[in-house]
Amino acid sequence: MKQGYSETEGKCYPLFFACKNDCLDIRIDGREKMKAKGKLGLQGFLSFLFLAAGWYLMQYFCAYVVLSGSMEPEIPTGSVVVVDGRKKEWNPGDVITYRRGNMVVTHRIVEKSEEGYYTKGDANAEEDAGIVLEKQVIGNVIVALPWLGFGIIWLRQRGTLFFLAVGAVMLFTIQQLWHGRKIMQENKL
């Protein structure tokens, strides 16, 4: 008898977390095996491409959540801004993301000088205090995704991921129990 199965009147049924096909005698011809291997190889290749593209993009692009309304209405609070770090020279009118102390700020360049850049939030009445040096600039904003940041902030709160993981395990457990019950009913056990 296979481990994880019970046997009743010559039939087997899955116990918790078991796969129903383990008790079936399935014979696959050579052509089907080749198809399965081809599909598996294609999935592996596509996974590799996806990971390689992700690695490449992470080298140059960053995403940040906008926490204030200083760039409204163009970039609302709670937006996610995607920043391109490849460009090394910016001009007035460009929206850049830069480091100021331990904060990351996204504002528009209003003036360029030999020392650096003067910036201002679109919703602010006055320019930011101080100059932004070129070495502080992370990159320019290429896209802003409104309200997506609220979901990210919620997920990063303490305990949220734990409760989501517990919920996922509970759903999986319920699905497995339901599936086992269905198999038992089909086999009239």
> So which residues are the catalytic ones?
68
- Interacting residues of 74 by C-beta distance below 8 A, sequence separation 6+: 95, 122, 144
83 in helix, strand or coil?
A: strand
Q: In angstroms, rounded to a whole number, what is the distance separating the alpha carbons of residues 160 and 141?
A: 29
7 in helix, strand or coil?
A: strand
Q: In angstroms, rounded to a whole number, what is the distance separating the alpha carbons of residues 163 and 161?
A: 5
Q: Report how far apart, in Å, the C-alpha atoms of 122 and of each of 93, 99, 152, 182, 185 are.
A: 10, 18, 24, 60, 65
Q: Which residues on neighbouring strands pair with residue 11, listed in sequence order?
A: 8
